[in-house]
Amino acid sequence: MGSLYVKGSKLWARYKDERGQWKGSPTPYRPGDDAKARLFVKRLENQCAAKRSYGEQSGQEPKGPVTVARYADR
């Protein structure tokens, strides 16, 4: 589960990427927009989970977004 923290005048997201490493990324939100920022973190986590499951199913290392061609090859 990711988290939010304030850095400067922005909210930053902390989450695990598809390789399981912690990453920090700025959100487009400012303090006070916590609910929107939490949805942003949830979307990041869902994208990483999709990449991780695709890599596990195909036996390949994730190399960017899943395209239709890569999905069809799988």
Q: How far is CA 37 from CA 3, 45, 71, in A?
A: 10, 12, 30
For residue 3, what are the contacts with CB-CB under 8 A and spacing of at least 6? Answer: 13, 14, 15, 41
63: pLDDT confidence band, cut at 50, 70 and 90? low
What is the per-residue pLDDT for 32? Answer: 92
Lowest mean pLDDT among 3-12, 15-24, 47-56, 57-66: 57-66
Residue 58 has pLDDT above 70, yes or no: no
Give the total number of structural domains in the chain: 1
Residues 6+ apart with CB under 8 A from 31: 6, 9, 11
Confidence band, pLDDT 50/70/90 cuts, at residue 60: low
**23 forms bridges with which residues in the sheet?**
15
Domain membership of residue 16 as a residue range:
3-73
Per the prediction, the chain carries an average pLDDT of: 84
How many Cβ atoms from other residues are within 10 Å of residue 44's Cβ?
19
Tens digit of each residue's pLDDT (9 = 90 or more) over 2-37:
899 999 999 999 998 877 889 999 999 999 999 999
Residue 40 CB coordination number (10 Å): 20
